Amino acid sequence: MTRSVGPDVPARLVDHHAHSVVRDIADRPSLERFLTESGEPPPEGCSHFDSFLGAAMLRTCAPVLDLPPGASADEYVARRTELGGEAANQRLLRSAGVAEVLVDHGYRGQELVGLHELAELAATRVRRIVRLEQLAEAVAANGVAPSRFAEALEERLAAELSGPDAAVGCKSVLAYRYGLDVDPAEPRPHEVRDAAEEWLSAGAALRLSHPVLLRHLVWAGLRSGVPLQFHTGYGDADLELHRSNPALLTGLIRQAAPLGTPIMLLHCYPYHREAAYLASAYPHVYFDVGLAINYVGHRAAAVLAEAIESAPFHKMLYSSDGFGLAELHLLAAVTFRSAVASVLDPLVVREARNPDEVAAAAAMIGAGNARRVYNLPSDG
Ligand SMILES: [Zn+2]
C-alpha cells in the first residue's frame, strides 16, 4: 500500500532566514504595509490584501485568532487589535512549529522586537546572522583610519562569531548595495585601503556601496568559515532585479570553492531555477525559495516544484523571510509544509519510493540541511 507524505513533515522546521516582528499593529494600513515589497500604500480604494498573499494570510491566520478562515481583512484587524500585540504574536509564532530561527536583525531592527523577546514570544531558539555591510558601517561609525579598516573589520567579525551568543552565519546584501555582477576577485590590501580612504573621507554618507569594499566584505565572510548568505532575487524596491540573479555569482562561487565555505542563496525567485542549477553544480552552494512562497500564496507548490525539480534534496533549505508581521512567519511555515508534501508525494505514488525515505527528504529540506550546514545541535 502506498501512502503520501504527511503535511506535518517535518514537524519542526529550522527557518534559516527571517527577521523579527513588530510589537503591535496600530491599524489596518500599518498591517498592510507588510504585505508588499513596495513600501507604498495601495491606490485609493484598493488594498494590499487583494493578492494571493492577502488571501492566504487570512485563510491561514484567522483561525489562529479564533476567526473563521473566510474572515474579512477588517474583521481580522479588529480581532488582532482586541487580542493585543503580545497575545497575537505569541499565538501566531507558536503555531508555526518552528524549532529554530536564524535572524538577520540588521535591517530596520530598531522597529522590531529584540531577539531575546522574539525567542520568548515564539517559544523557539533564535540565533543571529551577522549582516556584513552593517558591521562595516559600525566599524566606520566608531572612527577608524583607512589603513586600519580591514584589520578593525576582521577583529569585529571575529568577535561576532565567538562566545556563547556567537552568530552562526554572515549575510551579504551586495545585491542591494551594488549588484551581484561585481568583479568576483578578492581585492588586494592596497585596493581595500584606497577604497576605505574614499569611503571614509565622504564623511556623513556612511551607507556602504563602494564595490571594492563590498567585495572585501564578501571575502571576509567567505574566509570566516561560517555559511555566507546572499540576498538574491525578489526584494524591495531598492533592488535592480536583473542584477540580483544568483547566476551572476558564478565567478565568485568558482573562486571561493577552495575555501569550502557554504554559500547560501536566499529567496532566489524568480531565478529559483538558476539557483537550483548552481546548488546542483557546486558542492558548497545551497538555496531556498523563502519570501516567494508567501507572496505566491496557493501557488507555492508550483514554485517549490520548479525549484526542487533539478536540485538534490540535500541542497534546499526552508526560510520564511518573515519580516515585521508574525503572520508571515506562520504563513510561510504552513505553506512550506503543504507545498513540500504535495511536491514530494509523486515520489511515493509514481516512483515507488518508500514513504519513510520521502519523509526523510522532506525533513532534510525543512530542518536537517540547515542543522548540518550551520552546524546546529539537533532539536530536542
Ligand atoms: Zn530577509
Tell me the CA–centroid distance for residue 46 and ligand 1, in Å. 26
Average pLDDT over residues 118-127: 97
Pairwise CA distance, residues 266 & 327, whole Å: 20
Tell me the CA–centroid distance for residue 232 and ligand 1, in Å. 10
**Which residues does residue 324 pair with via DSSP β-bridges, in sequence order?**
21
Name the pLDDT band for 203 (thresholds 50, 70, 90): confident
HSE, side-chain direction, 13 A CA sphere, residue 103: 30
Pairwise CA distance, residues 70 & 50, whole Å: 14
Tell me the CA–centroid distance for residue 169 and ligand 1, in Å. 14
The cell for 199 is: 569611503
Residues 30-50: pLDDT tens digits?
999 999 998 889 999 999 999
Pairwise CA distance, residues 166 & 200, whole Å: 28
Pairwise CA distance, residues 213 & 150, whole Å: 9
Q: What is the mean pLDDT of the chain?
A: 94
Tell me the CA–centroid distance for residue 25 and ligand 1, in Å. 20
pLDDT value of position 50: 95
Tell me the CA–centroid distance for residue 17 and ligand 1, in Å. 6
Least confident window among 97-101, 150-154, 344-348, 363-367: 344-348
The percent of residues above 90 in pLDDT, for the chain, comes to 87
Least confident window among 114-123, 213-222, 286-295: 286-295
Tell me the CA–centroid distance for residue 76 and ligand 1, in Å. 25
Tell me the CA–centroid distance for residue 19 and ligand 1, in Å. 6
Residues 312-322: pLDDT tens digits?
999 999 999 99
Tell me the CA–centroid distance for residue 353 and ligand 1, in Å. 35
Q: Of 116 and 205, which is predicted with more confidence?
A: 116
pLDDT value of position 380: 58
Residues 259-293: pLDDT tens digits?
999 999 999 999 999 999 999 999 999 999 998 88
pLDDT value of position 2: 44
What are the helix (H) ranges across 161-299?
Answer: 174-177, 189-201, 211-224, 250-256, 272-281, 292-295
Tell me the CA–centroid distance for residue 311 and ligand 1, in Å. 23
Residues 89-105: pLDDT tens digits?
999 999 999 999 999 99
Name the pLDDT band for 348 (thresholds 50, 70, 90): confident
Tell me the CA–centroid distance for residue 323 and ligand 1, in Å. 7
pLDDT value of position 202: 82
Average pLDDT over residues 150-176: 97
Tell me the CA–centroid distance for residue 316 and ligand 1, in Å. 17
Least confident window among 10-14, 118-122, 238-242: 10-14
Pairwise CA distance, residues 233 & 236, whole Å: 10
The yes-or-no verdict on residue 7 having pLDDT over 60 is: no
Query: At a CB cut-off of 8 Å and minimum separation 6, what does 311 contact?
Result: 276, 277, 279, 280, 287
pTM of the model: 0.95
The yes-or-no verdict on residue 363 having pLDDT over 80 is: yes
Tell me the CA–centroid distance for residue 20 and ligand 1, in Å. 10
Tell me the CA–centroid distance for residue 139 and ligand 1, in Å. 23
Tell me the CA–centroid distance for residue 236 and ligand 1, in Å. 10
Asked if 380 and 27 touch (Cβ cutoff 8 Å), the reply is no
Asked if 329 and 98 touch (Cβ cutoff 8 Å), the reply is yes
Query: At a CB cut-off of 8 Å and minimum separation 6, what does 351 contact?
Result: none
Residue with cell 533539478: 310
Q: Using CA of residue 320, residue 323, residue 329, residue 331, what is the dihedral sign?
A: negative
Residue with cell 508581521: 325
Name the pLDDT band for 206 (thresholds 50, 70, 90): confident
The cell for 164 is: 556563547
pLDDT value of position 40: 87
Name the pLDDT band for 1 (thresholds 50, 70, 90): very low
What are the helix (H) ranges across the chain?
Answer: 28-32, 52-61, 73-83, 85-94, 115-122, 132-141, 149-160, 174-177, 189-201, 211-224, 250-256, 272-281, 292-295, 300-308, 326-349, 355-363, 369-373
pLDDT value of position 196: 96
pLDDT value of position 205: 61
